[in-house]
Structure 1
Amino acid sequence: MTIENSGKSKAAVTPLDNSSILQGCYYALLALIIWLPIPLGSNRPWAWSIMEVVSFVILAIVVARIPSKAFTEQIRAYWPLALGMLLFLLYQFIQLVPLPVNFVKALSPNTVLVQQHANISSDWLSIAVDSNQAIIATLKACSYFAVMLSVLLLVTDFKRLKYLLIAIIIACTWQGFYGAIMALSGQEHSFFWSMNNNSTANGSFIYRNHFANFLIMGLAVGLGYLVATLDKDSIDKPSRRERATRWLTSLVSGKAALRIALAIMVIALVLSRSRMGNTAFFVALTITGVLAFILLRQKSKSLGILLISVLIIDTFILGAYFGIDKVKTRIEQTTVANEARIDFNEYSWQLVELFPRVGTGGGGYYTVFPLVQGEDVNAFLDHAHNDYLQFAIEYGIPATLWLGIIVMVSLVQGIIAMRRRRSKMLQGLGFATTLAIIGMLLHISVDFNLQAPANAAYFHIVLALAWIANNGLKSKKARILKH
């Protein structure tokens, strides 16, 4: 693996105890990453409370132990992402602040009507129609930001980057293995959490589409890591001995284990029976693969073989055995007439029209959907089956566009990294983040994956890694953060 050359650091080294503490924070971050999906995708109050406390403590210690000059140098390359997400967090806090009722009425007349209908009569009202839900959503968002910022501050060398990617792969492989085993076991209840079990895989997640979305990010990171370790094409045709040596080396280096991990995740993705989950992954993989062939400076036959093996071998051999035909059938049977979530989204669009500027506040969809719910909808919804719609409803169109810009700029960072960076690891990281972001953008058009804390936290990590791929690890500056 090629690692970019770097000069000696000119930064002053802090005392050893600071380095030891920061190293401990880094390992605590890895532990948190592995833990997040296990307790029902952290989608229970007690589970996301653990996420919040641990992430806040990690970030607080890291910021306290890093000298201001080193902090500035480390975050300089990532400031657009950090500032962009910080401004969105600030807006979430503003939604909670009581404002003069006439000012709120000028921004969003329907917000005042909703709160007055709920017998909230005051000269001061918040933009958030449900303050309790908005507080919960804001604390979660702060936790995601803390995880993202911790990654940007602590991943300061290739060794740490490698361990972070391995932690993600381990977490996603375990979920894939557990989900596949449960789906094939025939057990009435899951081994953990005592959930109802059937032939559809959902791992330790409550909702199979959240599980499928989580696997998309894991597959993206795993494939990116594998791309980073692909051998360069040799001018001379390798002998049998050289081919045998390479094969044995790949077994010893862990490539075989990684390939098995990817196969497990593909099987689990198919077993999830998630239509858009499977579609989003393979469409994103195709797009990213084409981009890789165009952008990577040192392309190899191994890259083509890898992509073909995932698209053909994993899909049509492993997938055929484990039920991709059932996914295909579900996709073919999907029509506008029988897809209830389309009706939900039609009503949700009315909420966008009612609260276009400032939204209803985080978690507000839960409160305001009954205002437009038709008689034909018997279900009780706490989320829109479309994250674009839910963000527009809860935070308004301008804030949603702001978030969209941040994500798209991060996507561009990953794409550029494939072309610009010389390190194979960073090129592979660019591949991984491009695949993950495209997959997420496709999948959230029909589901609420970013409402699951584990998925949202992992996506923030993906955004951070996209910026690291294109702008980070240029030198060994800020060695105070290194173990």
Structure 2
Amino acid sequence: MIHRIRVGLMPAFLLSCLLLGGASAAGWWSNLALQIAALLLLFYAAASRRGTPLSSASRQALGLAVLLLALILLQLVPLPPGLWSHLPGRAPIAEGYRLLGRPLPWLPLSLEPFKTISSALWLLPAAAMLTGIVVLGAYRSSWLAWCLAIVSIVSVAMGALQLAGGQGSSAYLYDITNYGAMTGFFSNANHLATLLLATVPFLAALYLNALNKGRSLQKSSGLLVVLAGTGAVIVVGLAGATSIAGMGLALPVAGASALLVFSRKRRVPGWTAIVLALLLAGSVAAAFSAPFNNNLTGEQSKTAEDSRLHSFSTTARAAGEFLPFGSGIGTFQQIYRAHEDPARVGRYFMNHTHGDYLELALEMGVPGLLLVLAFVLWWMRRTFVLWSRDDADPFARAATIAIGAILAHSIVDYPLRTAAMSAVFAMCCGLIADPRAKVQARAAQDPKKAARHLSAD
């Protein structure tokens, strides 16, 4: 019983994040509960002692997380007036103090330090998920995958109720949401699409896991039917979410997941990476062309104030003023409003730039972009290692696909700004990090119960 409770710890936390952490700017009480639970998990991991050392990949993953924390903390360090006033983008602030006749105080690099602290707290669930996998090992890969599958099915069912109820449907969980589209447990339909995409490769991993365990043909066939049905539900969900990027990424994700099944117990040929890359480029290019009329390259993008084309250009212009150090995590809304054309501002406001890399360039500057590059290189290396091995864990391979889908979707959206998708992302990072702390069976831990006896009838 204790063993089952332990391995169910991180799946239960993942389920909580998926159900409660679906908004980036709402759901304060639910996200507060997730952050408190994350702190408890982090304290538990810090107090635990393991007999086996961390693998190199796990140390690298944790090292990248520590670097992110260090960058955030550096943005909160007070700087002398002679230093911060000469940083890019700070001249208007210094001029404001001079106009008021007040001396320049010590100020941090972040223009909104309390917003920076708040944004850092939203990263706690992801940090707890990564630590719980690579340090505590309090999980079972198949349970994590089933959490994704079950929440995806329920989300699409909830999305059907949302569509049936119309604009005033009570099935929508958040006041600020994409009315008229499936959102499930999220406030943003695009984030539901990201979850559905990340779930697809784990469906393939669940089937492979059943085959590797030597299940009977009848049980394996039954599981295949269930997983295929889940895949069909996901297709319906992607259509209901009306996410153009989600539709564009569906084909390469499905192709990579099929490759995961067909490459069971064999190495993947090198040319398959080229095929998948071409498939990804073609699918994305098709999705962002007619007749979809998206708000990045379509006709409406040139006139709509809330289009991605307009937000991208405004954010890029603002980011250029604050390079190379950025304006601080959590400062996007204030900086963006200062750079908007007042004559074009309507009743909508931009809460995020709908392109995480551009927003990161504004808030964290060159150091943030270098950290992203370091992570991408780590992910690519782990992907090569896992797909080159004959005996690679199917769940680890599935995680490489899910990470790729989330990274690609982040070009035109911000899924990692939610606790739900950041937890999924951290889970995938933990699975590909070759964690040291997988919980062993209780019999293996107890030497008294590990003995084997022979008996004859």
Secondary structure of the 1:78 match is helix
Q: Does 1:59 align with 2:27?
A: no
Distance 1:433 1:408 in 2: 15
| Contact residue 356 and residue 413 of structure 2 kept, 8 A | yes
2:118 maps to what in 1? 136
1:205 maps to what in 2? 186
Task: From the superposition, tell whether residues 265 and 164 of structure 1 become closer, same or farther in structure 2 (CA, over 3 Å).
Answer: same
Q: Does 1:263 align with 2:243?
A: no
2:219 maps to what in 1? 249
| Contact residue 345 and residue 384 of structure 1 kept, 8 A | yes
| Contact residue 357 and residue 397 of structure 1 kept, 8 A | yes
Offset of residue 288 of structure 1: 6.1
Q: Does 1:364 align with 2:331?
A: yes
Give a deviation string over 1:41-67, Cα, whole Å, max 9, x none. 054221221111101101211321325
Offset of residue 165 of structure 1: 2.1
1:111 maps to what in 2? 90
Deviates more, 1:374-383 or 1:23-32: 23-32
Secondary structure of the 2:187 match is coil
Q: List runs of 5+ in structure 2 lacking aligned partners.
A: 269-275, 281-286, 302-306, 447-457
Equivalent residues in 2 for 1:386-465 (5 A)?
Answer: 386-423=355-392, 426=393, 428-465=394-431
Task: From the superposition, tell whether residues 390 and 332 of structure 1 become closer, same or farther in structure 2 (CA, over 3 Å).
Answer: closer
Task: From the superposition, tell whether residues 30 and 287 of structure 1 become closer, same or farther in structure 2 (CA, over 3 Å).
Answer: closer
Letter of the 2:219 partner, please give it: T
Distance 1:213 1:121 in 2: 49
2:150 aligned to which of 158, 161, 170: 170
2:245 maps to what in 1? 276
2:344 maps to what in 1? 376
Task: From the superposition, tell whether residues 475 and 362 of structure 1 become closer, same or farther in structure 2 (CA, over 3 Å).
Answer: closer
Letter of the 1:210 partner, please give it: H
Offset of residue 164 of structure 1: 2.2
Offset of residue 358 of structure 1: 1.6
Task: From the superposition, tell whether residues 298 and 125 of structure 1 become closer, same or farther in structure 2 (CA, over 3 Å).
Answer: closer
Task: From the superposition, tell whether residues 380 and 333 of structure 1 become closer, same or farther in structure 2 (CA, over 3 Å).
Answer: closer
2:283 maps to what in 1? none
Offset of residue 285 of structure 1: 3.3
Letter of the 2:220 partner, please give it: S
Distance 2:219 2:167 in 1: 40
| Contact residue 109 and residue 327 of structure 2 kept, 8 A | yes
1:318 maps to what in 2? none
Q: What TM-score do the two structures reach when normalised by structure 1?
A: 0.75
Q: Does 1:99 align with 2:79?
A: yes
| Contact residue 386 and residue 448 of structure 1 kept, 8 A | yes
Distance 2:358 2:211 in 1: 40
Give a deviation string over 1:66-114, Cα, whole Å, max 9, x none. 25x54xx1455410110111111111011112122223245x2313534
Distance 1:466 1:278 in 2: 26
Distance 2:228 2:405 in 1: 20
Give a deviation string over 1:294-326, Cα, whole Å, max 9, x none. 896168xxxxxxx9xxx9xxxxxxxxxxxxx9x
Q: List runs of 5+ in structure 1 lacking aligned partners.
A: 1-18, 233-244, 300-306, 312-324
Equivalent residues in 2 for 1:176-195 (5 A)?
Answer: 176-184=156-164, 188-191=168-171, 193=173
Letter of the 2:188 partner, please give it: Y
Offset of residue 290 of structure 1: 5.9
Distance 1:23 1:411 in 2: 33
Letter of the 1:434 partner, please give it: T
Deviates more, 1:30-39 or 1:372-381: 372-381
Letter of the 1:466 partner, please give it: I
Task: From the superposition, tell whether residues 225 and 129 of structure 1 become closer, same or farther in structure 2 (CA, over 3 Å).
Answer: same
Letter of the 1:35 partner, please give it: S
Secondary structure of the 2:89 match is helix
Secondary structure of the 2:324 match is coil
Task: From the superposition, tell whether residues 414 and 472 of structure 1 become closer, same or farther in structure 2 (CA, over 3 Å).
Answer: farther
Offset of residue 184 of structure 1: 4.4
Task: From the superposition, tell whether residues 337 and 191 of structure 1 become closer, same or farther in structure 2 (CA, over 3 Å).
Answer: closer
| Contact residue 362 and residue 395 of structure 1 kept, 8 A | yes
Task: From the superposition, tell whether residues 223 and 121 of structure 1 become closer, same or farther in structure 2 (CA, over 3 Å).
Answer: farther
RMSD across aligned positions (CA): 3.8
Distance 2:183 2:118 in 1: 25
Secondary structure of the 1:330 match is coil
Distance 1:383 1:112 in 2: 25
Secondary structure of the 2:299 match is coil
Distance 2:110 2:5 in 1: 38
Letter of the 1:330 partner, please give it: F
1:353 aligned to which of 310, 315, 320: 320
Q: What TM-score do the two structures reach when normalised by structure 2?
A: 0.79
Task: From the superposition, tell whether residues 193 and 290 of structure 1 become closer, same or farther in structure 2 (CA, over 3 Å).
Answer: closer
Distance 2:174 2:338 in 1: 35
Distance 1:351 1:396 in 2: 11
1:154 maps to what in 2? 136
Give a deviation string over 1:112-138, Cα, whole Å, max 9, x none. 534764879643111111112111111
Letter of the 1:79 partner, please give it: R
State the number of aligned residues.
Answer: 416
Secondary structure of the 1:30 match is helix
Distance 2:332 2:295 in 1: 29
Equivalent residues in 2 for 1:7-22 (5 A)?
Answer: 20=2
